[in-house]
Chains A and B, each alone.
Chain A
């Protein structure tokens, strides 16, 4: 049995970089797909609203773990090499888009109706309305919950370990397999996650207080 040493801790911290990278991929992908989803949810077309709603209902009603397995094995079926990073990236995009889409829909709807009417009166077309009037205001409302959701993303990247992607949680398992001191190791792994997530939680709360200061 190998003694737990500082090398192991360093290895864990290096693995945490993959957790951060995966979180960034998830957030970028989620934002890219989530924004159109949010706009579809508030669209005038019943069909677009329905499609976005069905997508969100399905993803929010399925465990992320199953989404991961489906994309991992689904890629295999389509004849691609089973690359854990690609499968994880796809799954987290699917997952984050559903939640961000729903969060952002609420934020767009929270912009007062009079803003729509006023911009209508000024003769702006729908694209201009969104770009210059609605979205800039929605972004301010959306920032605190979005930062809060990033904590969920960081924590959920730990699930990528089950399809063999070596990020922080998987690295913890690997170290544990050689040293067999699970309590200490997973406590350290938890502490590293905490070090990433806690600042985000605090920032989210701070932003929320600031946003409500005027009210």
Chain B
């Protein structure tokens, strides 16, 4: 093998990578938050809603979970703009990632909500909690605590999947890599660096999610044991 590795371009281009990583963080934090909201509402609709609502949510979840994210991104960015709704690449990316995240969150949260026993709801009724209070304190938080590991992995997977938005020229980390490699012809080196940055980001997200879990779930903080 006569190939010589050359990382010299880093001296000049590292701010590009930082900017790309920062946009990746912004895009994914926004879509995780929005997608979690969408998914939680859909999960509640799927468990407690009427038959029509349940059916609609079911179709949404199956349609998204059985088609590639790449195609979903193309439909939002190219498809919607051909119908007259022009969104920027970044907004399209957030919309597509949110819709995608929402479908997966629906399934995960549904499992959590269904694991809450009836007696808990009856007890909440007896204590005179309002419907909203019951849903927030008796259903959602414990449900989320039960499925928190699955949720966390899904969030990290979404962060990694956000690399696909580079295909519609949202200038996040992967798109930055594509740009730098076409300028420097150091393709392999560029992607090695970006792979390392993604690994670091995964570790960062895992740590952040663990910390959020500690803040959110008292039992975990006090006893150190999951539900």
B163 at the interface (CB under 8 A from A): yes
Stretch at the interface among A35-43, A135-143, A190-198: A190-198
Structural contact, B191 and A63, CB atoms closer than 8 A: no
Task: Give how many B residues have a beta carbon under 8 Å from the other chain's beta carbons.
Answer: 40
Known: A63-B198, A193-B67. A159 touches B164 (CB 8 A): yes
Is A77's CB within 8 Å of the partner chain B?
A: yes
Interface-forming stretch among A26-34, A44-52, A67-75, A110-118? A67-75
Q: Is B53 an interface residue (CB 8 A)?
A: no
| Across-interface contacts of B83 in A (CB, < 8 A) | 183
Q: Tell me the residues in window 67-108 of chain A with beta carbons closer than 8 Å to chain B beta carbons.
A: 67, 69-70, 73-74, 76-79
A197 touches B70 (CB 8 A): no
Query: B62 and A198: CB pair below 8 A?
Result: yes
Listed residue (B63, B81, B191, B198) with the most chain A CB atoms within 10 angstroms of its CB: B191
Residue of A nearest to B75 (CB): A186
Interface residue B15 (Cβ < 8 Å from any Cβ of A): no
- Chain A residues with CB under 8 Å of B166's CB are 65
- Pairwise interchain contact A62-B187, C-beta atoms closer than 8 A: no
Separation of A81 and B75 alpha carbons in the complex (Å): 33
Contact B70–A79 (Cβ < 8 Å): no
Contact A66 B194 (CB under 8 A): yes
Is the Cβ of A169 less than 8 Å from the Cβ of B71? yes
Interface string of A153-197 (1 = CB under 8 A from B): 001101101100000010011001000111100110110011001
Q: Does A10 touch B at the CB level, under 8 Å?
A: no
From B71, B194, B199, B203, contact of A186 by CB (8 A): B71
Using Cβ atoms and an 8 Å threshold, which residues of chain A touch B60? none
Asked if B188 and A190 sit within 8 Å, CB to CB, the answer is no
Are A63 and B188 closer than 8 Å at their CB atoms?
Answer: no
Q: Which residues of B contact A176 (CB under 8 A)?
A: 78
Contact of B223 with A by CB under 8 A:
no
Determine how close the nearest CB of chain A comes to the CB of B190; give it in whole angstroms: 9
Closest CB in chain A relative to B93 CB, distance in Å = 14
**Contact call B167/A162, Cβ cutoff below 8 A:** yes
Complex: chain A residue closest to B153, CB-CB? A60
Q: A183-B82, A201-B65 are in contact. Are A169 and B70 (CB under 8 A)?
A: yes
Say whether B66 contacts A61, CB under 8 Å.
no
Which residues of B sit under 8 angstroms from A159, Cβ to Cβ?
A: 68, 70, 164
Residue among A77, A161, A169 with max Cβ neighbours from chain B (10 Å): A77
With A58-B199, A180-B82 as known contacts, state yes or no: A169 contacts B68, CB within 8 Å: yes
A-B complex: 9 closest residue pairs judged by Cβ atoms = A182-B78, A183-B79, A158-B68, A63-B163, A197-B66, A61-B202, A73-B187, A155-B68, A63-B160
- B interface, CB within 8 angstroms of A: 1, 3, 62-63, 65-72, 74-75, 78-83, 156, 160-161, 163-164, 166-167, 174, 177, 181, 187-188, 191-192, 194-195, 198-199, 202-203
13 of the cross-chain contacts (CB-CB < 8 Å) are: A61-B202, A62-B202, A63-B161, A66-B195, A69-B187, A155-B69, A158-B68, A158-B70, A172-B74, A173-B74, A176-B78, A183-B79, A186-B75
Given contacts A194-B63, A197-B67, 9 further A-B contacts (CB under 8 A): A61-B202, A62-B195, A62-B198, A69-B187, A69-B191, A161-B70, A186-B79, A189-B71, A194-B67
